[in-house]
Amino acid sequence: MASNAASAPIGALPEWDLSDLYPAPDSAELAADITRAGADAKAFRAAYEGKLAGLSGDGLAEALASYERLQDLLGRIMSYGQLVHSRAMSDETIGRFYQTMQEQVTEITSDLIFFTLELNRIEEADMAAKLAAPALARYAPWIADTRAFRPHQLSDEVERLLHDKSVAGRSAWVRLYDETTAALRFPLGDEKLTMAEVLHRMSDRDGAVRQAAAMSLGQVLGDNARLFALVTNTLAKDKEIEDRWRGFPRPISARNLSNFVEDEVVDALLAAARESYPRLTHRYYALKAKWFGVEKLDHWDRNAPLPGDDDRVIPWAEARDTVLGAYAHFSPELAAIGRRFFDAAWIDAPVKPGKASGAFAHPTVPSAHPYLLLNYQGKTRDVMTLAHELGHGVHQILAAGQGPLLADTPLTLAETASVFGEMLTFRAMLRAETDPARRKIMLATKVEDMLNTAIRQVAMCEFERRLHDRRREGELTAKEIGLLWRETQTESLGPAIRLGQGYEWYWAYIPHFIHTPFYVYAYAFGDCLVNSLYSVYQGAEEGFAEKYLDMLRAGGSKRHGELLAPFGLDAADPAFWRRGLSVIEGMIDELERLE
């Protein structure tokens, strides 16, 4: 446990213990596993390259089991490198260690590329015959997902070249972005703040502090905008080239396929969300401006604490008990799994220089366990973030039984447990609050969080779409990217938000644009899905929790249609998205009635 004297009301904050993966970056255990992985990969290639089509179903199942063990070992190695780096991105020694891990794992996995390429070349009738073997049938969902990419597969030589060059191409640009943002410092008075700290100050009770933080954020991002624009342009062009070679019709198509969701379903979600702008964001921010006694809110007031909000610091112990209590009210089993993260040092919560900003849940591998990274500073939103990331972690624990190849959940479903965990926590906090004024503030805060999760993420996706479309015509300047950002965010936020100087650079701090293009719509997918799911839960008989846990246990073994069917939900129906968005609209209706 690590305590922060400057944040005494928060209490002692946990730091994770990565020794469940490896004792240290220079440990003999890590070195031995890298050597073993390299030898096993070469042996695997020698045993199976050029032979998959001739294997029986049982023989292919044996090959897949060996491949799966290798993936678990390599995943453990790479997860450790990523987690070590995420806490010390400004440390040159750690950066070198992480790069070395990437290069070594890339070299090892070059011996494994043949496997999925050959698997995809097996004719449908032959594969169907092989899948009659029970041992292979277990892997049928993973095989189907892998073979979904058959139309976009390139020659073995090109696939190997793309793989080998990634460490000096895309991965290197992502590392440059991460280390640059981690090293940035934002002046505020006599302080020099990290990214996480300056973003935190933008929800300070003092409007002058919020404005100063917003100006500092914009100034520093603007000072580095040429570098961020270069990274963005390079990665967008890299994606355009690969998409063109693979035959993807639109920039978002590759992400949709990797999420195993149809283009039409995503289009319906995005269209429904954009169509809802006037009823949701425009209406809510006009209401918030009224509460602040102004016609328009400056952009630094968008997430400001509401008038009357005591904005108290929530100690870590209270945040833990609140989240676990909410989980337990829904399912004791869910809470018991969640408690393991606190008891076993699987969470890293303090804000530190050089640490990755934001929050994440890293699944590592099924033979180990997930880790959560937070930047906890005692706000109500930090409690919601804990509930969100713990939802991811519990989901990853439950899905681990599927094994390394089937545990991973598509991004569209990966946000289900996290957003559901937030909703459980919010409802628990609302039930415990008896003061009407305070309940109104809590309801408004939840509406803001839902707008940030659903509508703002759709606006970000629209920014990405326009950015990638424009990049196909030529490189964009930092100013042009900023104009696209302003344009899409103005459409989303509406006339009650004034976007001031410096806001045009805010696109640069969103890591999803760099790490995983078009990731962001998964938040809207998850939020709308959970809103619909929660409405079913509210009217459900006994047994909902068990069905919900079974859905999480499925991991990546089922598509969204199969997972939602037991709840009577269908994401292919446009009404599904309108139903999810109507939950937010209903909350805004309630806030207007309270006026």
Backbone φ, ψ for residue 186 (5° rounding): -115, 110
* Among 138-142, 313-317, 531-535, the least confident range: 531-535
- What's the pLDDT score for residue 513? 97
Higher pLDDT, 561 or 397: 397
**Which tokens is 354 given?**
């050089």
Residue type, 209: V
The confidence score (pLDDT) of residue 4 equals: 43
Give 5-18 pLDDT, tens digit per residue: 344 689 999 999 99
Say which CATH superfamily domain 18-168 falls into.
Oligopeptidase f, N-terminal domain (1.20.140.70)
Please give the sequence-ordered ranges of beta strands (E in DSSP) within 153-307, or none if there are none. Answer: 186-188, 191-193, 297-298
Environment class of 160 (CB within 10 Å of its CB; exposed 0-12, middle 13-18, buried 19+)? middle
Sign for the pseudo-dihedral over CA of 182, 186, 192, 193: negative
Residue 1 has pLDDT above 50, yes or no: no
pLDDT band at 3 (very low <50, low <70, confident <90, very high): very low
The string of pLDDT tens digits covering residues 219-234 is: 999 999 999 999 999 9
Strand partners, 192: 187
- Residue pLDDT, tens place only, 340-378: 999 999 999 999 999 988 899 999 999 999 999 999 999
Taking only the tens place, the pLDDT of each residue in 157-214 is 999 999 999 988 999 999 999 999 999 999 999 999 999 899 989 989 899 999 999 9
Q: How far apart are CA 391 and CA 414, in angstroms?
A: 10
Q: What is the pLDDT of residue 8?
A: 60
Above pLDDT 70, what percent of the chain? 98
Give pLDDT, residue 301.
96
- Supply 68's token pair: 């799966």
* Residue-wise pLDDT tens digits, 127-142: 999 999 999 999 999 9
User: Taking the CB of residue 140, how many other CB atoms lie within 10 A of it?
Assistant: 13
Starting at the earlier edge strand, list the strands of the sheet with 360-362: 347-348, 371-373, 360-362
Supply 146's token pair: 């892998």
Give the residue among 164, 282, 174 at the shortest CA–CA distance from 513: 174
The span from the CA of 25 to the CA of 363, in Å, is: 19
How many Å apart are CA 283 and CA 586, to the nearest integer? Answer: 12
Distance of CA 166 to the CA centre of its chain: 22
Contacts of 269 (CB under 8 A, 6+ apart): 458, 521, 524, 525, 528, 577
Q: For the chain, which residues make up each domain, given as ranges? A: 18-168
**Residue with structure tokens 């400056």?**
298
Structure tokens at 125: 């009738």
Query: Which residues on neighbouring strands pair with residue 371, listed in sequence order?
Result: 362
